[in-house]
Amino acid sequence: MKSDDFRPGIDRRALISGLALLPALSGTLLPALAQAQTPSGVPLASWNDGPAKRAILDFVRATTEQASPQFVAPEERIATFDQDGTLWVEHPMYTQVVYCLDRVPAVVAEKPALKDVAPFKTVLSGDRDQIAKLSLHDLEEVLFATLTGMPVDDFEAEARKWLDSAKHPRWNRLYTDLTYQPMHEVLQYLRDNGYKTYIVTGGGQDFVRVYSQRVYGIPPEQVVGTAAGTKYGYDKEGKPFLTKEPKLLLNDNDAGKPEGIHLMIGRRPYAAFGNSTGDREMLEYTGAGASLRLKMLVLHDDAAREYAYGPAQGLPDSKVGTFSQALYDEATKKGWTVISMKNDWNRVFAFEGKA
């Protein structure tokens, strides 16, 4: 197992700085709450009137009305969504990284020799300062150990169990509750208008597929993510199974997003949503298509209801989901629409109730 074979598509600064904010290793047994549904009949109810809402409504009208010069054939209607920071909360740390750290005790229980070996010893200590100082190589070792080497069915079962119990430290709620109600409404609105909605995430494809149907109404085959290979083999009874391998096939960040879209979908999207520099190429690629395309970026400018970060807006820089000045400039130049959480959304989470 060579660590060079596996470079998870996660920004190093994001990992390390996020670790400093690591919540106590989580674990309760509450079942996942069902997602609130988009209020039927009223599209985009959690969106305030404004340029962002109007951009979505105009795009859908222009591409789905038969008489429109920008009409798009139903089978061509593809919309892609980044996940972390676009569909759900990414602060203070990518949810999947929390999962990996939480899984370390179980991995050590199976391989006790790891108990006294760095970086597992450090993670087990719970010492946040020390954990924050782990090197990228150390973190990769943690990701290896917790995301590969097991049958895909075992991974799925473990991830599912964790998602049903682990909670975000700020809200004390399941991570799957921390999805943005306005984005649920966009997903539903696009689907109601014949769009196939895809997640295109830097996160692990297998991880997101565990809950994508239940949480977003997006089936596993419409999740494109950072993906490692699997290996086909047989158990003692001759029954075949797949094992997750530490071999990276797709780093679904930055240029990897359009490359992943070509690999997994084979069509250029008509609409793309992101929130950080990792989504830049996906929006560029979407925008380079002929005719009307929708390109949108979520700006986290609402510290009260969620978080505020993004240097271009005079907000603190972020180690997770950077919205750089260069990205902001490109968005302005190319006419991409920036969604202000604070101004464009009258509700952030379904659990808040209606505004």
- Binding residues for a second copy, rule: CB under 8 A, are 75, 78, 152, 196, 205-206, 209, 213, 219-221, 223, 227, 229-232, 239-242, 249-250, 255, 258-259, 262-267, 281, 284-285, 288
Nearest to 320 by CA among 246, 253, 258, 257: 253
| Cα 294-299-304 angle, rounded to 5 deg | 140
Least Å from the CB of residue 245 to a second copy: 9
Residues 6+ apart with CB under 8 A from 346: 46, 47, 48, 355
199: left (phi over 0), alpha (psi -120 to 50) or beta: beta
As a whole number of angstroms, the distance between CA 174 and CA 95 comes to: 10
Least Å from the CB of residue 114 to a second copy: 27
Return the number of the residue (294 or 308) whose C-beta is nearest a second copy: 294
Return the number of the residue (32 or 265) whose C-beta is nearest a second copy: 265
Cα–Cα distances (Å) from 12 to 74, 121, 133, 139, 151, in that order, read 40, 21, 12, 9, 28
Least Å from the CB of residue 267 to a second copy: 6
Least Å from the CB of residue 87 to a second copy: 18
Least Å from the CB of residue 338 to a second copy: 20
Least Å from the CB of residue 213 to a second copy: 7
Question: Taking a C-beta distance cutoff of 8 angstroms, is the pair 31, 18 a contact?
Answer: no
Return the number of the residue (26 or 205) whose C-beta is nearest a second copy: 205
One-letter identity of residue 177: D
The DSSP 8-state label assigned to residue 79 in this structure reads E
Least Å from the CB of residue 112 to a second copy: 30
Question: In degrees rounded to 5, what are phi and psi of residue 24?
Answer: -55, 145
Return the number of the residue (2 or 239) whose C-beta is nearest a second copy: 239
Return the number of the residue (169 or 229) whose C-beta is nearest a second copy: 229
As a whole number of angstroms, the distance between CA 298 and CA 313 comes to: 12
Return the number of the residue (64 or 122) whose C-beta is nearest a second copy: 64
Residues 6+ apart with CB under 8 A from 286: 80, 268, 269, 270, 271, 272, 293, 294, 295
Return the number of the residue (77 or 168) whose C-beta is nearest a second copy: 77
SS3 349: strand
